[in-house]
Structure 1
Amino acid sequence: MKILYIEDEKELGSWVFEDLTRRGYEVIWLTNGEGVQEYLETSDIVILDVMLPGLDGFSIGKRIKKSYPQIPIMMLSARAQMDDKLEGLQFADDYVTKPFHPDELEARIQVLARRFDRIVPEEIQVQHLRYAPKRYELIHEEKSEPIFLTAKQLHILDYLIKHAGQIMTKEQIFEAIWEENYIEGDKTLMVHIRYLREKIEKNPAKPLIIETIRGIGYRLKL
């Protein structure tokens, strides 16, 4: 993965650059927002400090996200006040306060990479199912046979697997799959989830893979 890292603090920047490079990432390190544009087309993730000379990190991050919404942005900041975090999370995908451990930084990079499809594993085990995301292939391991899903069912399952363990609201799922605004009371998603469960759950009446979070949405359990 190629990381665009923007940090003006030389000691911290050098430490992060060397650590991420040692872990196998390709890192472009800039000390300010100048020249950012030429690296964005080939960057998988942007890691951005808030306090920068010239244009601050919030302003740079907003511009990047507006032009390249598909690139995940992680903010790094010594400013831990809630107002700063909320401002950063208006556009950024993660907000990490300094100081931080290098293992935590990499773990957060990996989470963003999975969310934004920067890392696509060959196969994912989901209880008795084996899912190959690159081929969109679903296998029932105990029966050694494929499970055939409709395009919408597959899209829902793929989305939930990418957010495994997280409670996803009905609005989030619906708007990600249908790319339309969710209207409260719409049963479309519920119907698709029901039919999906009939194909993937051992007992659809007592689902263990796609859990209903009453009044909120759903959570997939690996």
Structure 2
Amino acid sequence: MAHVLYIEDDKEIGNWLTNELKERGYDITWLISGENVEKYLSEVDIVILDVMLPGLDGFSIGKRIKNVNNKLPILMLSARTAIEDKIEGLSFADDYMTKPFHPDELVARIQVLLRRFSKTDQPIHIQHLMINPKDFQIINKETDEEIILTGKQYAIFQYFFKHANQILTKEQIYESIWEEAYLENDKTLMVHIRYLREKIEKDPANPTIIETIRGIGYRLKE
């Protein structure tokens, strides 16, 4: 089973979650701060990281971890629900989960990240699509044809894939891909997603891979 590095300074929450994950078969290394975190990174498969920590906060520690090993998945945990915090977290982390949460959901997200960052080159299947993680080649399994995306379509789909099953706001997606501020009512992202759906969905008018979450944004359904 996977080895989890869990960084959390709240002892009550830390004890509870450590015991929950151990009962489910995970190996856990629990730290109460990010001090000397680098020496643990070669031993673990995933990092669960709280935002509010003594000394350096979780955002700073997460960025430091990614600088050392950008192939190590990070799941942020936080009681901070503001969209600005989520956007900052997802600028480097691979998932962002708000407290309180159910351990079953946390474990499901851990499993998704472990599959995505698996050290094997086994293909990943999303409905009728097969994705080769080594080169992110996308194959339509029904026709056995490669789906060719434009640069922006490719970047958008990779971003969705990286954050599968998460509801992403238009602002998050746009600012991550275009690296500039999102302007309300800008249709650029919507147009790119429409063309992306025409390539990857069986029925682009009724998408089942990239779902529209009305009034918020989108979600890639794995």
Q: Same fold (TM over 0.5)?
A: yes
Q: Matched residue pairs, number?
A: 202
Q: Secondary structure at the match of 1:64?
A: helix
Alignment-derived partner of residue 207 in structure 1: 207
Q: Are 1:64 and 2:61 matched, yes or no?
A: yes
Return the alpha-carbon distance in structure 2 between the equivalents of residues 150 and 85 of structure 1: 38
Q: Say what the alpha-carbon RMSD is for the aligned residues.
A: 4.2
Instruction: Judge conservation of contact 2:18–2:30 (CA < 8 Å) in 1.
Output: no
Return the alpha-carbon distance in structure 1 between the equivalents of residues 108 and 207 of structure 2: 30
- Structure 2 stretches lacking a partner, 5+ long: 90-95
Alignment-derived partner of residue 93 in structure 2: none
How far did 1:191 drift? 1.4
Instruction: Judge conservation of contact 2:7–2:34 (CA < 8 Å) in 1.
Output: no
How far did 1:139 drift? 0.8
Return the alpha-carbon distance in structure 1 between the equivalents of residues 130 and 143 of structure 2: 11
Return the alpha-carbon distance in structure 2 between the equivalents of residues 180 and 153 of structure 1: 17
TM-score, normalised via structure 2 length: 0.64
Return the alpha-carbon distance in structure 2 between the equivalents of residues 64 and 163 of structure 1: 20
Alignment-derived partner of residue 192 in structure 1: 192
Instruction: Judge conservation of contact 2:34–2:61 (CA < 8 Å) in 1.
Output: no
What are the Cα deviations for residues 158-177 of structure 1, in whole angstroms up to 9, with x where unaligned? 22233333322111111222
Alignment of 1:58-207 (within 5 A): 58-62=54-58, 63-65=60-62, 67-68=64-65, 72=74, 85-86=79-80, 93-94=96-97, 106-111=107-112, 113=114, 118-119=117-118, 122-207=122-207
Q: Percent identity?
A: 48
Return the alpha-carbon distance in structure 1 between the equivalents of residues 220 and 50 of structure 2: 33
Bigger-Rg structure (1/2): 1
1:64 aligned partner, one-letter code: I
Return the alpha-carbon distance in structure 2 between the equivalents of residues 197 and 34 of structure 1: 41
Return the alpha-carbon distance in structure 1 between the equivalents of residues 165 and 218 of structure 2: 10
Deviates more, 1:60-69 or 1:137-146: 60-69
What are the Cα deviations for residues 137-191 of structure 1, in whole angstroms up to 9, with x where unaligned? 1111111111111121122112223333332211111122222221112221111
